[in-house]
Chains A and B, each alone.
Chain A
Amino acid sequence: MNRLQPSGLVMAFAWLVLSFLALPAFAVIPVSFTDTRYLAMPQDELSLQHWRTFLSSEQWLGSIWQSLWIAVVSTLAAVTAGTLCAIGCWRIASALSEKVRGLMILPMAVPTIVYALGLYRLYVDLDLVGSALGVVLAHSVTGLPYVVLTVSASLSNLDPRLEQAARGLGASIAQTLRHVIVPNIIPGVLSGAIFAFIHSWDELVVVIFIGGRALFTLPRRMWDGINDNLDPVIAVVATGMILFTLLVLTAELSLRGRRARQGG
C-alpha cells in the first residue's frame, strides 16, 4: 500500500478547485439562451433570439470564416516548417542544433504584447497593417513552438538507426523523410497541428495591434463586442467556441493515447 492517503478534507478541497476550474466557462451556454436584451441568465423562458441574430449576422459569420482560413493557412505553414526543423535538429543532434531548437521555443516565453509592439512597427514599414497576410505570417511563426515541441517528443521515441538503415539501403533524403520518418511521427505532427491551429484561432493580442481598421478575426470581434456593449450575442459565439474547443481537445486526447502507445 505505497500510496498517499489524503484525508477526506483534502479530497473535497481538490474537487472544489477542479469545479472552479472546469465549470465557470459553461455559464455562457444558458446565457446564450437568455430572453433578456442584456447579459443575464434566462429570466422567464429560453429564447433563441440571440442565436437567430448571430446566424443572420454577416459580420459574425464573416469573422468566423476569416479566423478559420487564417488558422488553416498558418497551421500548414507552421507544421511544414516546424516538422522539418524538428527532424533536422533531431538528425544533426549537435550542440548548435540543440540551441536552434531551444530558440524555436522563444515565442512561447516572450510576453505577446512585446512581440505585438515590434510586429506593428515592422508592418507599418512593410505596409502589412490590416492585411490577412500579415496575420498569417505572425501566426505561423508563433505557432512553430507547438509543432517543434510535439514533433521532437515523437522523434525522441524513434530509433535513429531507422533513418541510417533507409539511407544505407539507398533511399534519398526525401524518400527517407516521406516513407520512413514522417509515418512514424504522424501523431506528434497532428498534435502539433492541433495546437498551432488553436493558437491561431484564439490569438487576440497580435491581431489587436496589426489588425488595423478592417481586419476582424473572431476573437477581435468578440473583444470589441465585450468592450462596447456586452451584447448577449457574444454568449452565443462563446458557446460555439467552447463546443469547438471540446471537439478539438477530444481529438488531441485520442492522439495522445496513440502517441503513448507508439512510444511503447
Chain B
Amino acid sequence: MRLASRDKMGKHTVYWLIVLPAVLMLVLLYLVPLGNVLLTSVTDPKPGLDNYALLFTSASVQRSLVTTVRIAAITTGFALLLGYGVAYAMRAASTRTQRLMLVLVLLPFWISILVRSFAWIALLGTQGPLNSALVAWGIVDEPVSLVRNETGVLIGMIHVMVPYAVLTLYANMRGIDAGLVSAARSLGASRWQAFRLVFLPLTAPGLVGAGLLVFILSLGFYITPALLGGGKVLMIAEYVAVQINDTLRWGLGTMLATTLMIAVLGTLWTLSRVVDVKRLFGT
C-alpha cells in the first residue's frame, strides 16, 4: 500500500510542486498564527489550564458566553423562519421570478457588513427616518432606542444571516419532488396538511443544516454587535478584542478565541458527519 502511494507521489511530483505555494502560505501565514493562539491560551501568564478554569469561575466571561449563545439562538430562529418563507417562494416561483429573488438575496450578501451596519444606524437611530415616522404618526411620544442595544444587534445580525439560511434551505428544497405535494393534494389533503405532513418533513435536513450554519457563524460575529450594540452587548468576539486591546489579558483573550474556534469547527465537523455539506450548499 505504502509503496504504491509513494509511486503515485512520484508520478505526480510536478503537480505537488504547483500545489506547494498555496500550502506554504496556508501553513506559515494561517496555521502558525492559529497554533500561536492555542499555545498562548495554555502558557500566558503561566503554563497550565488556569485560563480555561475562568470559563467556569469568571462571572463576566460567563455573562459574555450567555449573551453570545442567546443572540446566536434568537438570530438562528428568525433567520430560519424568514429564510424558509423566501426559499419556499423561490422553489415555487417561475424561473424568471426565481432569478430576481436570488439577486435580491445575494445583493445584501455582497454589500460590506460595515456599510450595512452603518445603514441600520442611520435608519434606526433616534434622528433616523423610522423614528421620525413613528413620532409623526403619534405611535410613540419620544424616539425609541433601536440601536446601541440588543434589539439593534439582533436586527443587524438577522439581516446578515437570512441569505445564508435562504441559500442552504433552497439548495435542499430544490431536490424535493413537488409532485409529492401535488399527490397529497389530489388525495384530499388540505394545502396546510400537504405542507406539514409531506413537504416540511422533507426539508428537515435543510433546516438542520441552515440552523447550524447560521448559529456557528453568529457565534463569531464582531463588527455588527460592536457597532449596533454600542459597547453594551458584549458578544464573545468583542469581549476578546477588549481583553487584547484594553486590558492586555492575552491569556484570557486567546483562551476564549480557542474555545470559540473549537465550538465552530467541532459543530462543522459533526455536521459533515451527518450530512453531505457540499450538497447542502448546493455546489
Q: Which of A92, A118, A245 contacts B34 (CB 8 A)?
A: A118
Instruction: A19 to B122: give the CA distance in the assembly, Å.
Output: 17
Interface size on B, residues (CB 8 A): 88
Taking residues whose C-beta sits less than 8 angstroms from the other chain, chain A's interface range is 35 or more
* Residue numbers in A under 8 Å from B22 (CB-CB): 81-82, 84-85, 104, 144, 148
With A14-B86, A100-B19, A114-B34 known as contacts, the answer to whether A4 contacts B128 (CB < 8 A) is no
* CB interface residues, B 84-135, toward A, < 8 Å: 85-86, 88-92, 101, 103-108, 110-123, 125, 127-129, 132
Interface string of A76-115 (1 = CB under 8 A from B): 0100111011011101101001001001101101111111
The segment from A58-66, A184-192, A198-206 that touches chain B is A198-206
* Residue numbers in A under 8 Å from B115 (CB-CB): 25, 28, 222, 238, 241-242
Q: Is the CB of A245 within 8 A of B159?
A: no
Instruction: A86 to B83: give the CA distance in the assembly, Å.
Output: 32
Q: How far is the CB of A113 from chain B (nearest CB, A)?
A: 4
* Residue numbers in B under 8 Å from A249 (CB-CB): 106-107, 110
* CB interface residues, B 2-29, toward A, < 8 Å: 5, 8, 12, 14-19, 21-23, 25-26, 29
A10 within 8 A of partner (CB) = yes
Residue from A6, A39, A104, A118 having most chain B Cβ neighbours under 10 A: A118
Residue from A13, A88, A104 having most chain B Cβ neighbours under 10 A: A88
With A2-B179, A114-B260 known as contacts, the answer to whether A27 contacts B254 (CB < 8 A) is no
A57 within 8 A of partner (CB) = no
Q: How far is the CB of B118 from chain A (nearest CB, A)?
A: 5
Q: Is the CB of A17 within 8 A of B82?
A: yes
Q: Is the CB of A85 within 8 A of B261?
A: no
With A24-B120, A241-B115 known as contacts, the answer to whether A113 contacts B18 (CB < 8 A) is no
Q: How far is the CB of B100 from chain A (nearest CB, A)?
A: 9
Instruction: A22 to B260: give the CA distance in the assembly, Å.
Output: 30
Interface string of A1-39 (1 = CB under 8 A from B): 111111100110111011111101111100100000011
A223 within 8 A of partner (CB) = yes
Q: Is the CB of B36 within 8 A of A122?
A: yes
B237 within 8 A of partner (CB) = yes
Q: Is the CB of A27 within 8 A of B89?
A: no
With A85-B22, A245-B112, A249-B106 known as contacts, the answer to whether A114 contacts B261 (CB < 8 A) is yes
* Residue numbers in A under 8 Å from B144 (CB-CB): none
With A1-B182, A117-B240, A140-B25 known as contacts, the answer to whether A21 contacts B107 (CB < 8 A) is yes
Task: Considering the complex, give the chain B residue whose CB is closest to the CB of A208.
Answer: B241
Task: Considering the complex, give the chain B residue whose CB is closest to the CB of A235.
Answer: B122
The segment from B50-58, B59-67, B204-212, B218-226 that touches chain A is B218-226
B152 within 8 A of partner (CB) = no
Q: Which of B29, B36, B114, B265 contacts A121 (CB 8 A)?
A: B36
Q: Is the CB of B112 within 8 A of A202?
A: yes
* Residue numbers in A under 8 Å from B264 (CB-CB): 109-111
Interface string of B247-263 (1 = CB under 8 A from A): 00010011001101100
Task: Considering the complex, give the chain A residue whose CB is closest to the CB of B185.
Answer: A5
Q: Is the CB of B34 within 8 A of A138?
A: no
A162 within 8 A of partner (CB) = no
With A6-B88, A113-B222 known as contacts, the answer to whether A84 contacts B26 (CB < 8 A) is no
A46 within 8 A of partner (CB) = no
With A88-B18, A92-B19, A103-B26 known as contacts, the answer to whether A110 contacts B85 (CB < 8 A) is no
Q: Is the CB of B40 within 8 A of A121?
A: yes
B244 within 8 A of partner (CB) = yes
Task: Considering the complex, give the chain A residue whose CB is closest to the CB of B120.
Answer: A24
